[in-house]
A and B are shown apart, each in its own frame.
Chain A
């Protein structure tokens, strides 16, 4: 059987991770620019899944290095919340992750995204019913 090629979305802060993402070209991965981690809403993550993503990664500035002070911390907390929703939905919390990346570190961006992409390959497509 052909290997599963998941589709993955990275939601990247325009002040850090998106600048790193722009320098990369990872097949199966769509990088979406967000104005700041603080601007991320739960619904954006869910919408990415509903529009076909099998995995989502949120990437914002390094700890204590957010242009807007705490946007990265907020994004991390929102990811934790949505992980809970995904768990309740039976989708699995591992399909969502958070990572901090500096604007000039496309190597770290690539590493983090590739690592998750490999995991998604192992997981296969989203399937299954909500655990009742």
Chain B
């Protein structure tokens, strides 16, 4: 899922200080699960803004609300009319949600209240780990379920490199060596010989260096009149 972190309050205050009617809108999918941008966090952020405004003698009308997903028009439709009553929407969705909102309601200011951090999973309660970079050409079949693009600091397709020591990567003592993880996994599976396989240079043309990517599926597109 998409993992995010709330922006520092100071930044949130600075960006919203000039607005008189604010709606803090949470998103109840990924960012709610990672405890950064759901309904609970929307309420909390609204209270913090209210408190700040009172201190700075800058009255505000503020409401906290949330929708199931800010990254799909159908869900935004449900609250569209209500949203238009506000001067600004402080969206606690990920960057995808913020931009979908901005496209759907172009006449309104939509500001981000989160920093979208990465694609990952909860390692344990309170700890989230990045494990996919959405490179568009998955190699997990060659690396047996551990992504070298994400988990190897140099995104090497064949490793480990000389910087690997006792399972730790040379870039930081807190970073596991992705290739050591792959090795350990193959060892546990009794297939260490797979380590000898050379993975050819990866096709990076599907990755994020060539502008926004787009997928078009004619089989599921709805043609007018259908």
Contact = CB atoms under 8 A, between A and B. Distances in A.
A41 B10 contact: no
B55 A41 contact: no
Given A50-B50, A88-B8, A130 B44 contact: no
Nearest to A88: B9
A128 B10 contact: no
B19 interface: no
Contact of B56 (A41, A88, A130): A130
- Name which of A90, A126, A127 has the most chain B CB atoms within 10 A of its CB: A90
A85 B9 contact: yes
Interface residues of A, number: 18
Contact of B10 (A47, A127, A132): A132
A129 B55 contact: yes
A41 B8 CA distance: 19
A47 B47 contact: yes
B52 to A, nearest CB: 6
Contacts of B56: 129-130
A91 to B, nearest CB: 7
Contacts of A130: 10, 13, 52, 55-56
A46 interface: yes
Contacts of A33: none
B85 interface: no
A89 B14 CA distance: 12
Interface string A85-127: 1001111000000000000000000000000000000000011
A30 interface: no
Contacts of B40: 41, 43
Contacts of A18: none
Nearest to B54: A50
B52 A42 contact: no
Given A41-B40, A50-B50, A89-B48, A126 B9 contact: no
B50 A90 contact: no
Q: Is the interface of A mostly helix, strand, loop or mixed?
A: loop
Contacts of A42: 44
A51 to B, nearest CB: 10
Contacts of A47: 47
B43 interface: yes
Contacts of A126: 55
B51 A50 contact: yes
Nearest to B43: A43
Nearest to B56: A129
Given A43-B40, A130-B13, A89 B47 contact: no
Interface string B186-209: 000000000000000000000000
22 contacts: A41-B43, A42-B44, A43-B40, A43-B43, A46-B44, A46-B48, A46-B51, A47-B47, A49-B51, A50-B47, A85-B48, A88-B8, A89-B9, A89-B51, A89-B52, A91-B51, A128-B55, A129-B55, A129-B56, A130-B13, A130-B52, A130-B56
Interface of B: 8-10, 13-14, 40, 43-44, 47-48, 50-52, 54-56
The 4 A-B residue pairs with the shortest CB-CB distance, nearest first, are A46-B47, A43-B44, A88-B9, A43-B43
